[in-house]
Structure 1
Amino acid sequence: MRGTKKVYHAGMPHIKLVVGICYTVTPENEVQLQDPENRSDDNEDLELPLFSLSTILHATNNFSFNNKLGEGGFGPVYKGVLEDGQEIAVKRLAKTSTQGLQEFKNEVISISKLQHRNLVKLLGCCIEGDEKMLIYEYMANRGLDSFIFDKTLKELLDWRSRYHIINGIARGLLYLHQDSRLRIIHRDLKASNILLDKDMNPKISDFGMARIFGGDQIEANTNRVVGTYGYMAPEYAGDGIFSIKSDVYSFGVLVLEIVCGKKNRGFVHKEHCNNLIGHAWGLHAEGRSLQLVDKCLGESINVTEVLRSIHVGLLCVQRHPEDRPTMTSVILMLGSEGPLSSPKEPGFYIGKSTHDTTQSSSSDGGCSNNELSITMLDGR
């Protein structure tokens, strides 16, 4: 029966309808979940450790405001410390969030089987009464966006760290697209969804908008476009078509942002109305790509790696999906010294005209502090 759970306490089963996920709580406190849409290639149960509400309340000091890390469409995220000293991040579903309910179900199904050094690890969940929570490993340095878009903190990320982050994101995305047991399309890859551990290793997070592809499926269409403006591929934002190549587009935007230290969305340049993608493409065409580099990096950069990263980023944001490389090719290109093909015209490279915005700008550009996540947009 879809949408039911069997809970075993002292050998007595109980049936209850909870959030449309089929799952079983075993005597060993493991939650076994089945994909309600049967989107995976196998029908094995997905097992997760079950945390009690009392354990989470104690770990987060009753969801203390001082422990709050942030908040999204699903609800707030809190830092917690378990009795054994392990630090955790608790993603708490807001009771009033319809978006969060769907994201919760989707995230459990999507990430419960995924294990990779460049993906945030899901430790378990808490489903008790009206409370529904996901428990993750705690990432000490939070989101990549808090570093590269901050005038002070960005100086803590030298080129070696940034290049390490680019390659780590690429490996995590390759795992999702090709090497995991399930083919996952993330659909909301952006700087704030790249978390950094204490050693500044990047880990992809937030799978609430992800989709699982089965068999040989390579693309799908939806009239519910989800994601963040500035990172969405044109075929996805306009027509609702998504694939591994739409994730590749988002990765390309991320690469350019990491190199430049500015957001694609809201970017302003005094000489033109292109966004960051268009600015990078223009500089590349004129052989001036090094002008894109974040000024705080100074002369300590590895010029070869920087130029190659920009080139690969531009290949990833090409307008047509068939022109973009796969993540396998991206990793090979980043790690080799061979010639690269010339990037074709990118998608979404025209930004606002300078007289239409009051965004701050410097001699080489600026960025907006606003970031808009969209959860529904009818595709044309």
Structure 2
Amino acid sequence: MCTYNNYSKRGITIDGICCCRKQLSSKSRQGNREFVNEIGLISGLQHPNLVKLFGCCVEGNELLLVYEHMENNCLAHALFGSGASTLKLDWATRQKICVGIARGLAFLHEESTLRIVHRDIKATNVLLDWELNGKISDFGLAKLKEEENTHISTRVVGTIGYMAPEYVLWGYLTEKADVYSFGVVALEIVCGRSNASYWAQNGCVCLLDWTFNLQQKGKLMEILDPKLEYKFDKEKV
């Protein structure tokens, strides 16, 4: 069993295809809402950088979603995991993951029949396949974007540290909220550090604060993950 986020996901095999089972809580309104939301929004969407939904099942008190199996867990596990479980991500791989997330978001925002704002882009919701391609998962909080509306006014849900200021303060939701979250994830990929944890050091409270301080001092390259061992193209970074 492996846990990518707040749900349990277990590997299973259906018709010879290795899949992943995601179980949501049927005891909460949130669990039921996310279950219906995921089925309705992504069952018809196909893109190389979106995790594929194979099916669903309601059995007793269990709500189950069946996804394609992602061999290398989630991006957070690869970046922030400890010990032997941590994957070694070189610069080319990190760049590929960034581009993959961007392509997935471009599809949701501009290219699919349904225009969708994900609302919860973060490192635990980016899964990695056996080739370390990044795929966006977990559409339980996603919202449809209607063409005639410039934005959606909605209750604020998501993950602290990844939500855009205008969304947190006023519930003002556009595709830009996902782009902001992607920016945070991209920074985490470069730094190898999480923005979700509180930093009580050097006068900084989070990764964004620390990065801004270094930028002000002209020391921005100090944010680079030491695991890269200086093997990267500085201009691309």
TM-score (norm 2): 0.92
Cα offsets for 1:319-350 (capped at 9, x unmatched): xxxxxxxxxxxxxxxxxxxxxxxxxxxxxxxx
Matched residue SS, 1:162: helix
**1:123 aligned partner, one-letter code:** F
**1:186 aligned partner, one-letter code:** H
Matched residue SS, 1:228: coil
Matched residue SS, 2:218: coil
Among 191, 204, 210, the alignment partner of 1:260 is 191
Cα offsets for 1:191-243 (capped at 9, x unmatched): 00000001100000000000011223331112x31110010111111221111
Question: 1: distance between equivalents of 2:12 and 2:87?
Answer: 29
- The alignment of Structure 1 onto Structure 2 pairs a total of residues equal to 236
* Structure 1 unmatched ranges of 5 or more: 1-67, 307-380
Contact 1:176 1:182 in 2 (8 A): yes
Matched residue SS, 1:157: coil
Among 130, 133, 136, the alignment partner of 1:201 is 133
Question: 2: distance between equivalents of 1:269 and 1:303?
Answer: 29
Say if 2:216 is the partner of 1:299.
Answer: no
Q: 1:164 to 1:278 in 2, by over 3 A?
A: same
Question: 2: distance between equivalents of 1:137 and 1:217?
Answer: 34
Q: 1:71 to 1:170 in 2, by over 3 A?
A: closer
The farther-off stretch of 143-152 and 191-200 is 143-152
Matched residue SS, 1:305: coil
**1:245 aligned partner, one-letter code:** K
How much does 1:154 deviate? 4.8
How much does 1:272 deviate? 2.0
How much does 1:145 deviate? 0.3
Question: 1: distance between equivalents of 2:92 and 2:82?
Answer: 18
Question: 1: distance between equivalents of 2:82 and 2:27?
Answer: 36
How much does 1:188 deviate? 0.6
**1:297 aligned partner, one-letter code:** L
Question: 1: distance between equivalents of 2:218 and 2:87?
Answer: 26
How much does 1:96 deviate? 1.4
Among 68, 77, 89, the alignment partner of 1:157 is 89
Contact 1:218 1:244 in 2 (8 A): no
Bigger relative CO (Cα 8 Å, ≥ 6 apart): 2
Contact 1:155 1:297 in 2 (8 A): no
The farther-off stretch of 155-164 and 113-122 is 155-164
Partner of 1:105: 36
Among 90, 100, 103, the alignment partner of 2:21 is 90
Contact 1:122 1:137 in 2 (8 A): yes
The farther-off stretch of 91-100 and 156-165 is 91-100
Contact 2:52 2:67 in 1 (8 A): yes
TM-score (norm 1): 0.59
The farther-off stretch of 224-233 and 259-268 is 259-268
Say if 2:103 is the partner of 1:138.
Answer: no
Q: 1:87 to 1:107 in 2, by over 3 A?
A: same
Contact 2:22 2:66 in 1 (8 A): yes
Say if 2:164 is the partner of 1:242.
Answer: no
